Amino acid sequence: MEPIGVIYTNHLEASGTPIQPTAARESLGKIIIHKELESGLKDLDGFSHIILLYFFDQVRQSKLLVTPFLDDIERGVFATRAPARPNPIGLSIVQLIKIEDNQITFSGADMLNNTPLLDIKPYVPSFDQQQVERIGWLENSVKRLSATSDDGRFLKD
Amino acid sequence: MEPIGVIYTNHLEASGTPIQPTAARESLGKIIIHKELESGLKDLDGFSHIILLYFFDQVRQSKLLVTPFLDDIERGVFATRAPARPNPIGLSIVQLIKIEDNQITFSGADMLNNTPLLDIKPYVPSFDQQQVERIGWLENSVKRLSATSDDGRFLKD
């Protein structure tokens, strides 16, 4: 896997970075796609939302049990969105603002500045919106989302 | 990146494989997570839906323009969910049926048998459901989803 480009945001360090795009609606980000891949962006401007898959390159841990930002109890890492995972791939669904040549502007930037981008996919409700019955440990804590931000806990070795 | 486990499905070849979980609701899949990662599954059984990130390991192409299954016009690959992408990572949101030790049963299996799994994340409406305005070229063709399946076009060299 090689990055297809870089995500630039105003989040220069982990502490204070929003933990999901829904808590970062006013936070703009810019993607610069490697010039030789630019033709792969054709038709993307028709979508209002896109899925970004990126590499948590600042995270130095891989843990199986983590205390997520929204909780104070250790949870299995695959039951969380914490970055300290065996394969440190991040996923954010963001709103597309505009595309100019190989530059994409979006809102909902919840990743660190200089994050390596792995993939962009169109966000499609028929594919990506499921009727959910249960959200486990997040049932009670998800309401704290907008009041919670990264505190750098996963950057330490 | 190393697989965290393997996804087993009834789809033994690309031809005829559903192209999204929403077109594969009755199709069961089983994941076997590497035994040493089993503790990372703690708490996952509280969620009704999970996000699977996996490796399109049978795809031999990386294209910037593709003709997706739902269209007959070439589109930029990043505006499609086609597997022939620079980083061949697949994303499916599936329904969790049960977890026993390191085995996960789910419905909505739209990937080939023996697919290497890269990550599991909990699916959370507050994070993953966005109010969409536009879905570009899919606006007219998404209605053909359940009548469309893979035809093996991305397996060829």
Domain-embedded: residue A88: yes
Domain-embedded: residue B154: no
ipTM of the complex: 0.95
Q: How many CB pairs under 8 A join A and B?
A: 201
Domain-embedded: residue A67: yes
Provide mean pLDDT across the span B34-54.
98
Residue B71 makes CB contacts below 8 A (sequence gap 6+) with B137, B141
Domain-embedded: residue B78: yes
First to last CA, chain B: 24
Domain limits at A50?
5-147
Domain count within chain A: 1
Q: Is A143 helix (H, G, I), strand (E, B) or coil?
A: helix
Give the span between the Cα atoms of B30 and A124, in whole angstroms: 25
Of all residues in chain B, the one with the smallest CA distance to A46 is B136
B119 membership: H or E segment, kind and range? strand B115-122
How much is the pTM? Answer: 0.95
Q: Which of A51, A95, A139 sits opposite B91 (nearest CB)?
A: A51
Contacts with B44 from chain A: Cβ below 8 Å: 76, 78-79, 136
Q: Would the pLDDT of B157 be above 60?
A: no
Domain-embedded: residue B95: yes
Nearest to B136 by CA among A120, A123, A102: A123
What is the least distance, in Å, from the CA of A77 to any CA of chain B? 5
Tens digit of each residue's pLDDT (9 = 90 or more) over B83-126: 999 999 999 999 999 999 999 999 999 999 999 999 999 999 99
CB contact (8 A) between residue A78 and residue B2 = no
Of all residues in chain A, the one with the smallest CA distance to B49 is A132
Domain-embedded: residue B153: no
Provide mean pLDDT across the span A88-95.
97
Q: Give the burial string for B41-80 (b: 16+ CB within 10 Å, else e).
A: bbbbbbbbbbbbbbbbebbebbbbbbebbbbeebbbbbbb
Domain-embedded: residue A48: yes
Tens digit of each residue's pLDDT (9 = 90 or more) over A125-155: 999 999 999 999 999 888 888 888 998 888 8
Q: What is the DSSP letter of B70?
A: T
CATH code for position A128? 2.40.30.70
Chain A touched by B101 (CB under 8 Å): no
